[in-house]
Amino acid sequence: MSFAVKSLLLVATLGLAACNNPDRYGAGGAGGAGGIGGAGGIDTTGLGDPNNPASIAYFNQRVGDRVLFAVDQSTLTPEGRQVLAGQAQWLMTNAGYAAIIEGHADEQGTREYNLALGERRAAAVQNFLISQGVTASRLRTISYGKERPLEVCSEEACYAKNRRAVTVLAAGAGV
Amino acid sequence: MRSVFRAILPVGVTLALAVGLALSTVAPVLAQNAPPRIVIGSGVIEPMPIAIAGFIDEGGAGDYAREISRVVQSDLEGTGLFRAIPEDAHISRVTSFDSTVAYEDWKAINAQVLVTGAVSVSGDRITVKFRAHDVFNGTTLEGAALQFAGTTQGWRRMAHKVADVVYSKITGEGGYFDSRVVFVSESGPKNERLKRLAVMDYDGANVQYLTDSASIVLAPRFSPTGDRILYTSYESGFPRITLMDVGSLDRRSLDEQPGTMTFAPRFSPDGGTVVFSLARGGNTDIYALNLSSGGLSQLTNAPSIETAPSFSPDGSQIVFESDRTGTPQIYVMPASGGEGQRISGGQGRYGTPVWSPRGDLIAFTKQNAGRFHIGVMRTDGSEERLLTASFLDEGPTWAPNGRVLMFTRETSGAGGQASLWSVDITGRNLKQIPTEGPASDPAWSPLLP
């Protein structure tokens, strides 16, 4: 993994954002659709020990929960395919998890186009995972367009990290 | 999750239009001058000097009289087409609405147009009457002697209506001041922005919030009658088009097909159909939903991204954005769907096309050489004109008269923030719309009834 992954011990998901979403355990997700204005319960889940291959922490940090894309592209890079092959392997080994794949774009584009582009990126990941043997019903996609950048600078160094698709694990065998 | 917000939109503001108030006697016309006239789009314009006499309190008006004159002046000066002569430079004082106007005094300060008015308030009822005078001909401008009556809650609307009449008489264009703008109010850091829907007068006044910020909301659009709003909401956890009734704030998702996401909605000119983008399996196409029958039809069918549809005002065509050639460009297709014909031809990427309510122009966002622009082109793609340039300008919306655009401008970097700006179709009068905090995705309502 060439990029740092936040070592979150807990992921708090606001009840509102999770009302239709399964509980989300990802470290590099969109931060949820929730916010200060939300209400409801907070679900707390341990991510586990990254040395335990069956843990979420292991998936996020060792397998790698994300792939990056070139400008305007949704084509998987060779590095991306390698990460996704590892994700597929992990998902097939750990049948108790489903995943939501979040597609994102950098800020260089209109809101509408970036929503469509993020969906295209998420679908590229979904299709690859299915081609590797992951059951389609365990995967779902969402696009955040340019709404949830990971890095906030307005330079290519940040844009490159924002053009991403993140596989966020969720409880249950289907989404 | 029911919103905690109450419907506090002005309800039932009745504006009685009494045309043809008895005109006071005017001095006989000695020499006929051309009436005061501004033609928009005809090169550089020196703002026309006008005088707005303080509106007279005809009973109980209190601060309303002064505030209404102030809003009329702000509306007209805000166009960049008029310059109000300061009140302390006025020679004459208008002390009674129906007394004879001393035109020579207004000529002496070179006022081309004089606006006089009077306000009376009884209980929660307010009556505003006004005249716009052609100073050099010593006459009232035809059709510019009117009376509006309604509740005091709607006092700003009456001021906007006065200004709309004056603007229309002098420019020959429709007015746009008595209108609302729905937009996204933003807060929080760039990587975790909180967004909520809000609506305001076109000039930033009277802000009301329509949702809380629990879910991401994007790109609201008014219905052709201004009573409903379409927007994209993540309330369900996934982006879905939501339809809100502005009066009751009741809302519902329009589409619940699992495994899809829907966004970029717009009403048809008759308000009966919604066109939008539906993304499924990595492909985004344009669909139309009949709101009464629930019938869904697919308008585009291509492996590329087709999004940002906008109807022509006669409802016969749809302009949209597609990246089928590799970069986003603008296309026009029949309202029944089809491949469409590309109309954008210049360098760069084009998006968010919006058909002018007058039918003559298409406004768009253009991205080229690291900059964003708001521009307009004719409906065949000719005569492209870029009106703005910045790090990020996007999402133009037309004023009801098709002569002014409002859009989002966002600054760069970690502290980058969005704000609302307007510009007229000649590229002049670029200005920021005052909002309480960061704001994006404006959409103009029609002119209010």
Q: Which pLDDT value is given to residue A21?
A: 43
Mean pLDDT estimate for chain B: 92
Q: Residue B307 and residue A119: Cβ atoms within 8 Å?
A: no
Say if residue B147's pLDDT is above 60: yes
Q: Residue A148 and residue B191: Cβ atoms within 8 Å?
A: yes
Question: How far apart are the C-alpha atoms of B378 and B362, rounded to whole Å?
Answer: 6
Residue type, A80: G
CA distance B382 to chain A (A): 22
Q: Which pLDDT value is given to residue B44?
A: 63
Taking only the tens place, the pLDDT of each residue in B266-319 is 999 999 999 999 999 999 999 999 999 999 999 999 999 999 999 999 999 999
Q: Which residues, at least 6 apart from B176, have a Cβ–Cβ distance to it below 8 Å? A: B164, B167, B202, B399, B400, B401, B403, B404, B444, B447
**Identity of the residue in A112, A140, A153 whose CB atom sits nearest the CB atom of B352:** A112
Q: Which of A72, A112, A143 best probes binding to B when mutated, by most B CB atoms within 10 angstroms?
A: A112
Say if residue A37's pLDDT is above 60: no
May I ask the CATH class of domain B180-444? mainly beta
Q: Residue B351 and residue A112: Cβ atoms within 8 Å?
A: yes
- State how far the alpha carbon of B64 is from the alpha carbons of B11, B69, B117, B319, B413, in Å: 20, 8, 12, 44, 44
Higher-pLDDT residue of B343 and B13 is B343
Share of chain A above pLDDT 90, in %: 67
CA–centroid distance for B16 within its chain: 23
* DSSP-assigned letter for residue A80: H
Q: Which pLDDT value is given to residue B431?
A: 97
Contact with chain B for residue A108, Cβ under 8 A: yes
Q: Is residue B376 within 8 Å of residue B394, measured between CB atoms?
A: no
Q: Which pLDDT value is given to residue B186?
A: 98
What residue ranges do the domains of chain B occupy? Answer: 48-171, 180-444
Q: Residue A35 and residue B190: Cβ atoms within 8 Å?
A: no
B 127-166 → A contacts, CB under 8 A: none
Measured between beta carbons, the chain A residues lying within 8 angstroms of B416 are 152, 154
Q: Is residue B180 within 8 Å of residue B201, measured between CB atoms?
A: yes
Q: Which pLDDT value is given to residue B2?
A: 37
Measured between beta carbons, the chain A residues lying within 8 angstroms of B238 are 20-21, 142
Vertex B114, ends B109 and B117: CA angle to 5°?
135
Count other C-beta atoms under 10 Å from residue B268's C-beta: 19
Question: Tokens 């584009």 label which residue?
Answer: A109
Q: Is residue B133 within 8 Å of residue B184, measured between CB atoms?
A: no
ipTM of the complex: 0.90
Taking only the tens place, the pLDDT of each residue in A76-108 is 999 999 999 999 999 999 999 999 999 999 999
pLDDT (mean) for B239-245: 97
A 141-170 → B contacts, CB under 8 A: 142-144, 147-154
Q: Which pLDDT value is given to residue B260?
A: 93
Question: How far apart are the C-alpha atoms of B352 and A115, rounded to whole Å?
Answer: 13
Q: Which pLDDT value is given to residue B253?
A: 94
Question: How far apart are the C-alpha atoms of B318 and B334, rounded to whole Å?
Answer: 6
pLDDT (mean) for B213-222: 97
Say if residue A17's pLDDT is above 80: no
Contact with chain B for residue A48, Cβ under 8 A: no
Sheet strands side by side (includes B317-322):
B306-311, B317-322, B329-334, B341-342
Question: How far apart are the C-alpha atoms of B407 and B346, rounded to whole Å?
Answer: 21
Among A21-25, B128-132, B203-207, which stretch is predicted with the lowest mean pLDDT? A21-25
Say if residue B349's pLDDT is above 90: yes
Smallest CA-to-CA distance from B118 within B83, B149, B154 is with B149
Q: Which pLDDT value is given to residue B9?
A: 31
Q: What is the largest CA-CA distance in chain B?
A: 75
Q: What is the CA radius of gyration of chain A?
A: 15
Smallest CA-to-CA distance from A106 within B327, B412, B418, B197 is with B412
Q: Which pLDDT value is given to residue B325?
A: 95
pLDDT confidence of A2, banded at 50, 70, 90?
very low
Q: Hey, what's the torsion of the CAs at A21, A23, A25, A27, to 10 degrees?
A: 40
Q: Which pLDDT value is given to residue A174?
A: 60
Q: Residue A149 and residue B191: Cβ atoms within 8 Å?
A: yes
* DSSP-assigned letter for residue B369: T
* DSSP-assigned letter for residue B156: H
Contact with chain A for residue B218, Cβ under 8 A: yes
Sign of CA dihedral B219, B224, B225, B230: negative
Say if residue B23's pLDDT is above 60: no
pLDDT confidence of A39, banded at 50, 70, 90?
very low
* DSSP-assigned letter for residue A24: B
Smallest CA-to-CA distance from B219 within B379, B425, B407 is with B407
Say if residue B136's pLDDT is above 90: yes
Among A39-53, B228-242, B338-352, which stretch is predicted with the lowest mean pLDDT? A39-53
Q: Which pLDDT value is given to residue B393?
A: 98
- Rounded to 10°, the helix A78-93/A111-131 angle is 60
Measured between beta carbons, the chain B residues lying within 8 angstroms of A39 are 1, 214
Question: How far apart are the C-alpha atoms of B103 and B117, rounded to whole Å?
Answer: 16
Higher-pLDDT residue of A6 and B328 is B328
CA distance A132 to chain B (A): 17
Residue type, A66: R
Say if residue A32's pLDDT is above 70: no
Domains of chain A and any CATH numbers: 13-171 (3.30.1330.60)
In the CATH scheme, what is the code of domain B48-171?
Answer: 3.40.50.10070
Q: Which residues, at least 6 apart from B230, have a Cβ–Cβ distance to it below 8 Å? A: B220, B221, B223, B241, B242, B243, B244, B254, B265, B266, B267, B274, B276
Among A24-38, A44-58, B102-116, B305-319, which stretch is predicted with the lowest mean pLDDT? A24-38
pLDDT confidence of A6, banded at 50, 70, 90?
very low
**Identity of the residue in B191, B323, B395 whose CB atom sits nearest the CB atom of A111:** B395
